[in-house]
Amino acid sequence: MKLSDFDFDLPDSLIAVRPAVPRSSARLLVAQGDAIHDAQVHDLTAWLKKGDRLVLNDTRVIPARLTGLRHRDSAQGPVVAKIEVTLLEPQAQAGIWSALVKPLRKLRVGEDVIFSDTLRATMEGAAEGQAFLRFNLTGDDFDAALNAAGAMPLPPYIAAKRAADAQDLTDYQTVWAKNAGAVAAPTASLHFDAALLDALRGMGVAFTYVTLHVGAGTFLPVKVDDIADHKMHAEWGQVSAQAAAEIAATKAAGGRVIPVGTTALRLIETAGKAGQIAAWEGDTDIFITPGFHFNVADALMTNFHLPRSTLMMLVSALMGSQKIREIYSHAINQKYRFFSYGDASLLIPPRKSD
């Protein structure tokens, strides 16, 4: 299939730069069968039922965006350069992170970047456009200094419109965030608040937690015309034995397994690639495109995605390309808000037994 098969025109005014308040008041497009319904996220209680299981990604977004200063002596005297860093992932050696550095050309191997009174990093090297930075702190000391000095790594389409601020420290984090390591949020999960979780739990909807640390690669554009030539980025994830058992039990009982977000879906389909869900841990680069056979997910709750993106390919695989075009046309005509801070959709394809 061609990249152009997943393109659409989106008015810039529909790109959300702040989330709905309260979280569960965001709009919800429900696509089931041939019908498309307009609702709100708190209406999930009308669309889910006893025996359903929501699969939730419990990754915690770290404040991965740092601004610091590089000092250097020159023939003209001391010079200072502003350096912007976005952390990507920790390396095997403690204290070293891969990172995007802007401008990379202004930082030499061995030079320090000062981020705060307590946090600094030394440039160790660079490869393929990424830098490797050795921080002066590790463990809890590093986490505390990063939380004090860092900002949330908002997606490029939001960062282009406004800078991250203190409100994003809450807004860009799920209410159940636990395991730190993501540099992007599992954004469909941002719509849930404690009241909605309690309401769903009270009606017999179950929850299973998995972990996939969302990487900056989720925002990388697809640059090939034939999507079969695209190399998918890898992200670390884990499905525990308990999580796999809970999901398998729901499948066996005839309940629906509904991941919240494409990250959770990609992870459980990785863990279920043999046909049945099993405990799994590692780096997944699963690339879901039309023609993919879903072994685990029965439906998906997700936000509205960028044109020509791998996530558009994923939802097209779940619902069918023509149906997704109808869904997105409806969403644009009805002025749903798009992308990370935007509205949500509940995509329910026909079940195999239907």
DSSP secondary structure of 244-278:
HHHHHHHHHTTPPEEEBSHHHHHHHHHHTTTSS--
User: Given this model, what pLDDT does residue 210 score?
Assistant: 98
Per CATH, the homologous superfamily of domain 65-149 is QueA-like (2.40.10.240)
Is 298 in a helix, a strand, or coil? coil
CA 227 to chain centre: 21
Enumerate the CATH 3.40.1780.10 domain ranges in the chain, comma separated.
Answer: 3-61+168-348
CATH 3.40.1780.10 applies to domain 3-61+168-348: yes
User: Given this model, what pLDDT does residue 207 score?
Assistant: 98
Please confirm whether the linkage preceding 221 is cis (ω < 30° from 0): no
Q: Which residue has the tokens 């992932």?
A: 89
Cα distance between residue 2 and residue 207, in whole Å: 37
Q: How many helices (H) and strands (E) does the chain have?
A: 9, 17
If one counts every other C-beta atom within 10 angstroms of the C-beta of residue 181, the result is 18
Condensed to tens digits (0 to 9), the pLDDT of residues 33-85 reads 889 999 999 999 999 999 999 999 999 999 999 999 999 988 888 999 999 99
User: Given this model, what pLDDT does residue 353 score?
Assistant: 53
Condensed to tens digits (0 to 9), the pLDDT of residues 85-123 reads 999 989 989 899 999 999 999 999 999 999 999 999 999
What does the DSSP 8-state code read for residue 77? Answer: E
Q: What is the pTM of this model?
A: 0.93
Enumerate the CATH 2.40.10.240 domain ranges in the chain, comma separated.
Answer: 65-149
Q: Residue 328: enclosing H or E segment and its boundaries? A: helix 321-333
What does the DSSP 8-state code read for residue 132? Answer: E
Closest CA relative to residue 4, chosen from 285, 338, 219, 313:
313
Close Cβ partners of 15 (under 8 Å, ≥ 6 residues apart):
157, 158, 161, 337, 338, 339, 342
User: Given this model, what pLDDT does residue 352 score?
Assistant: 67
Between the CA of residue 268 and those of 182, 204, 238, 295, what are the distances in Å? Answer: 18, 22, 9, 9
> What are the beta bridge partners of residue 29?
38, 345
CA 48 to chain centre: 23
User: Given this model, what pLDDT does residue 354 score?
Assistant: 46
Q: Which stretches of the chain score pLDDT less than 70?
A: 352-354
